[in-house]
Amino acid sequence: MKMIAEDSQLVLIDFQEKLMPVIEHAERALENAHVLAQAARALTVPIWSTEQNPSKLGSNPSSWRSWCQQTLPKMHFSACDEGLIECLRPKSQAPAGNARSLPKHLQKPQSQHPARPQIVIAGCEAHICLLQTALDLVDEEFEVFAVIDACGSRLQSSKDAALDRLASAGVELVTTEMVLFEWLETAENEHFKSIQQLII
């Protein structure tokens, strides 16, 4: 399946100032996360971010505060245990009007699939917080895409193990450029040139 901008949300996991110095290839992962966020902003893809124990590990890059719908502080390793699901999935709403005048199937709130069911996820550490969050998102029936060149761990072997588990669980492994060009769909997209410049 392809990623579609109108169906996507971007989740950036724990790109924190005190964590990044110990992440292997951290500069590349952070640079690609910036590219993803800039493309998401241009294409009106919602952006969410998390910070693991921010009092100890510090904050994400300050520029992200204005880009993100919300930054979730967390102590659980999975952001899904800290409110991420509620952010990604709109709440069901009871139908308006007089219940007697509505057909029976409309008289109760309907279970609702997310309006944007595709979750593009990047972050650190790949084998802990990203992995646990992604697995929980799969359990919640989201379509999850992990951006392998925008995530990292302290050790390459840990990242490799995480990617194996993610793929086995049904998470699609993608690259930053895959995300950008699938979101764009065509070179005629009005944002094509500006987004292309992000990777040149």
CA torsion 149-47-83-156 (nearest 10°) is 10
Query: Is pLDDT of 101 > 70?
Result: no
By the 8 A CB rule, do 37 and 10 touch?
yes
pLDDT over 90 at 63, yes or no: no
pLDDT above 80 (res 114):
no
Across the chain, mean pLDDT equals 91
Write down all domains in the chain, each with its CATH number in brackets.
Answer: 5-89+113-196 (3.40.50.850)
Residue closest to 50 by CA, chosen among 10, 8, 15, 24: 15
Does pTM top 0.85 for this prediction?
yes
